[in-house]
Chain A
Amino acid sequence: MPVYFLRRVLAAIPVMLVVAVFVFLLLRLTPGDPAAVLAGDMATPEQLEQIRASLGLNDPLYVQFLRWMGDLLRGDFGTSLISNQPVLDLVADRMWPTIWIALITITLSVIVAVPMGVVAAWKHRSWIDHLVMTFSVLGFSIPVFVIGYLLIKLFALDLGLLPVQGYVAPSEDLPGFAARAVLPALTLASIYIALIARMTRASLLDVLGEDYVRTARAKGLAERRVLFRHALRNAAVPVMTVIGTGFALLISGVVVTESVYNIPGLGRLTVDSIFARDYPVIQALILLTSGIYVLVNLAIDLSYSFLDPRIRY
């Protein structure tokens, strides 16, 4: 296992390198001049030229790339073109709200969705199965912002139970953090609950038709034991995949929810930096999300070999 782990980590290096090249080129080749943005509408061509030179934007692409990679390897992600803060600080600042919300969302989704899927599969074609499936279709089809505003209207405005918007770090004020995190997490969770419940149900239905489930019954085992010991673990691999990918998507795809709930997270930072053409920040963000994807995939793969002893690398 340690060897496998090491191999997987090593294999992530070329992946990240390709991402880096791609990120670098993508932004340099997009129209829009950051120097013009920095200088403002009233700048003279001479001022523009000065700014370009100071940012190194006039050098050949490969020089810019090598300089950029060298900085990255030393942990220097550059300075924001707009706010003049170091990019690393900026991103680190915004990362925690997003990660916290994502963690709560995915935990909530798993806690709700897995039992839903299990019951639906176990009572296949009963009313409870139909109910779960109906809920799942709803979760898929109602847009996130609709659910978001509905939840705000109900819990924050009408009932006054929770604050409408905002974010407090859990280290500062845990109850305040929880009160502010629950609505965004619920909003985001709706689609993941639908997805994970569906996946659990389908995967478990497959497994319940397997020969070894029949064998377990032929041994005279109680139905509960057949379901939990023999079926569920075999059904877990595809469910794990969905959970892992879901988590990675959450980190990068929370733009709308963060806007609705006014959370100073990565989603908003992404939007802001794109509007401002803040190259260093955008690059760092893409690298960060890619890194998270690679890490999450690694974790998922490791969980496979834990769940199913046939999977060895």
Chain B
Amino acid sequence: MDEIFGIPAPLLFGQLLLGLINGAFYAMLSLGLAVIFGLLNIINFTHGAQFMMGAFAAWMLLEWAGLGYWWALLLAPIIVGATGVITERLMIRRLYKLDHLYGLLLTFGIGLIIEGIFRNEFGSSGLPYRIPPQLQGSWDLGFMFLPIYRGWVVIFALFACLATWLVIEKTRLGAYLRAATENATLVQAFGVNVPRMITLTYGAGVGLAALAGVLAAPIYSVNPQMGSNLIIVVFAVVVIGGMGSILGSVLTGFGLGIVEGLTKVFWPEASATVIFVIMAIVLLARPAGLFGRG
């Protein structure tokens, strides 16, 4: 059997693939964060809670309305996105003219409150959510057995990231968005309703988090803490990629998933730390992040 750095090659391929799957979650979450930061200048610390709400929305749709996974994939982002729109209208809107720090504190507080409410209602032990029957089972790839559902996660996440990127870079709406990021007053002078666009952008970013939550529900247990475990890592991803850089956050998300996966082979004890070590190095060498401008 071929070996690379003393690790059998098939094992290494398996780990790369698994890293890619975790990277898919990082990419989707950091994409939402990057979009929100790019346009709103708000560091959205509620993102983890909104990811968790997406998973819970899937669970509620199934338990209370009898709607399965595929409906949840469609409805959960809309429902959770709507709560995002309300939050933006009622609270976040008031902070645009203030320092970043205020937005960070507000969204962090909202996140804690949401988590507390869910813990109160549902307790802290996980709720079961099954893999949809169409995606059960596994593929034999020769070097490992890949559960079909995990393959689906990667493909779906890639598709979602690509779609978001296309909307922002290639459509008229995206052009408005990018223009408003550069100079909101001027865009408004041309007759574009910038405040509404900002609200909807926040809603879309939140919807992306919820979508990732639905994807995560069948693999991880659905519990109120599931977002806070992930969100710190995702922030590191955004910082490494460069705040506000959409392509950067997607590439870094997948890349760091792979790095983390490899660490789990060579030095498992450090797998929770490796991303932060990279973050420190990147901040020292390129303070604007790998893909950031400035």
Does B associate with A?
no
Interface on B for A, CB 8 Å cutoff?
none
Interface on A for B, CB 8 Å cutoff?
none
